[in-house]
Copies of this chain bind each other. A is one copy, B any other.
Amino acid sequence: MAFWFMENHTDNVVMSIKVKEQVYSEQSEYQRIDIFESEEFGRVLALDGIINLTEKDEFIYHEMITHVPMAVHPNPEHVLVVGAGDGGALRELGKYQSVQHIDLVEIDAALVAACRKYLPTTAIGYQDERVTVHNRDGLRFLRRLEDVYDLIIVDSTDPAGPGEILFTKEFYGSCYKALKQDGIMVNQHESPFYSYESAAMMRSYRRIRSAFPVLRVYQAHIPSYPSGHWLFGFASKKYDPLKDFDEKRWLAQGIQTRYYNTDLHRGTFCLPTYVRALLESE
């Protein structure tokens, strides 16, 4: 007997993962939260039936959403992470001595509790004393803030359910306002390959570009996500992710990574022609 978790990547493509054991399942106020143990991916977190992370490949996502902007900003001290109840981005941020304070805004307290209990290798990020957790709506949290953060990481789910608001023009405008004059915002930017994600990618791109003077998209291989081809958006008021990237400064900090490296930092912004064309059509 075996259980299989099945996720529709499109109506016509399904990814199935063999389940060893169901670990946790809850309908929170905001979403259905499931955690299960699998042979291939270790523990898997699914939100509303969509894989949010797996223990096997979450390092790719969390390193790429964190180290790319952290290697560009010359002195990131105050960081906001929106979404990301799992704590993986906190774990990566915790590797930097320059960081003085991290606000984590995650609307769903039940998700934070479940991750702290059942996903210890990502939730270890919560143990950092510099972290303050706010179980609030991201947009409301940001609305009245001005000139506060050096970096905002928008670690959202897909633009459906509780993550939808994190893809709006108003939200990106509030991020812009809450950033200091040389601030950076990075978001998970969906995927170019299947139509659902590529439509979300193009909307996100268009809206961020209307709020920020600098926007560059970069990519990574994340096998547990639809198509495995995932994008991130690097938006900033001032810094260019390549011209202002200081390789020596990053290397001097001695940070250990399994996916990110300074060579890959340059390569990750080199997008396929069809992805460029989609973005340029916006």
Contacts and interface: CB of A to CB of B under 8 A. Distances in A.
A180 interface: no
A54 to B, nearest CB: 11
Contact of A272 (B11, B38, B60): B60
A29 B10 CA distance: 36
Nearest to A272: B259
Contacts of A257: 273
Interface string A26-50: 0000000000001111000000000
Contacts of A263: 270-271
Nearest to A64: B272
A101 interface: no
Interface stretch (A72-80, A105-113, A219-227): A219-227
**Looking at chain A, what size class is its interface with the partner chain?**
35 or more
B274 A264 contact: no
23 contacts: A12-B17, A12-B40, A13-B15, A13-B18, A13-B40, A14-B16, A15-B15, A193-B221, A221-B229, A223-B227, A223-B228, A258-B272, A259-B272, A259-B273, A261-B270, A261-B273, A263-B270, A264-B273, A266-B267, A267-B267, A267-B268, A267-B270, A270-B270
A14 B12 contact: no
A270 B242 CA distance: 14
Given A13-B41, A259-B272, 8 more contacts: A12-B40, A13-B18, A221-B227, A223-B229, A258-B274, A261-B270, A264-B272, A267-B270
Contacts of A18: 11-13
